[in-house]
Amino acid sequence: MLEKEIERVLFSADEIRARVRELAAEIRYRLGDGELVAVGVLTGAFVFLADLVRELGGEVRIVLVRASSYRDGTRPGEISVEIPGETDFEGGDILLVEDIVDTGQSLKALKHTLLERRPGSLTTVALLDKPDRRRVEITADVTGFTVPDEFLVGYGLDYAGLYRNLPDVCVLARCVYEDHA
Ligand code: 5GP
Ligand code: MG
């Protein structure tokens, strides 16, 4: 049963909805009412991206990118970023949309890769921020919630591919990942 694997709800769907509305207002205040390119990071940001772009309103293009860490162990902390071939960011106002900033390595690599494409501006937003785990000194320009160093699932975040469809952000029970370890 999925319910047994959840230790507690950290942010309910209602709390998230209210915060996403505030984040959208803050982003529009910073960037104005013009066209934006919302760049969502697969897969975890897909739920946040979907809610955020509907709160942003106006003209929004959507681009989905993927950030993966090299797993061969030869380049520790290195992240590869895949951007769809036809994408043109030049001169545009980019809004990078992340689920969570943990060590900060993904955000750093994503910013670096996007800036190489010469956008007009780059703003970053993360729903969640886990500062205790940071290894690279970086924060998103706009952050939804600061969270403790626990393993979170729901609202796009997974464990072993599951739980992304939970409407709340939850703390996963330790027994789940200890069982599977
Ligand atoms: P970073 O490069 O900042 O260490 O990692 C960011 C990525 O790690 C996030 O985009 C997310 O995919 C994953 N991540 C970090 N913390 C958590 C967590 O608590 N739960 C889940 N499901 N993924 C996490
Ligand atoms: Mg991510």
Is the beta carbon of 153 within 6 A of some atom in ligand 1?
A: yes
**Which pTM value belongs to this model?**
0.94
Q: Which atom of ligand 1 is nearest to the CA of 157?
A: 22
Which SS3 state, helix, strand or coil, does residue 180 take? helix
Is there a contact between 58 and 2 (Cβ–Cβ < 8 Å)? Answer: no
Q: Which atom of ligand 1 is nearest to the CA of 136?
A: 3
- Fold of the domain spanning 13-147: Rossmann fold (3.40.50)
pLDDT in tens, the chain (181 residues): 567 899 999 999 999 999 999 999 999 999 999 999 999 999 999 999 999 999 999 999 999 999 998 766 556 568 999 999 888 899 999 999 999 999 999 999 999 999 999 999 999 999 999 999 999 999 999 999 999 999 999 999 999 999 999 999 999 998 887 766 5
DSSP state of 173: P
Which SS3 state, helix, strand or coil, does residue 29 take? helix
Q: Please state the domain extents for the chain.
A: 13-147
Catalogue the active-site residues.
102
The Cα–Cα gap between 136 and 102 comes to: 9
Using most ligand atoms within 8 A of CB, pick from 43, 65, 81, 102 the residue to mutate for ligand 1: 102
Q: Which atom of ligand 1 is nearest to the CA of 102?
A: 3
Q: What is the pLDDT of residue 52?
A: 98
Gap from CA of 82 to ligand 2 centroid (Å): 13
Of the listed ligands, the closest to the CA of 107 is 1
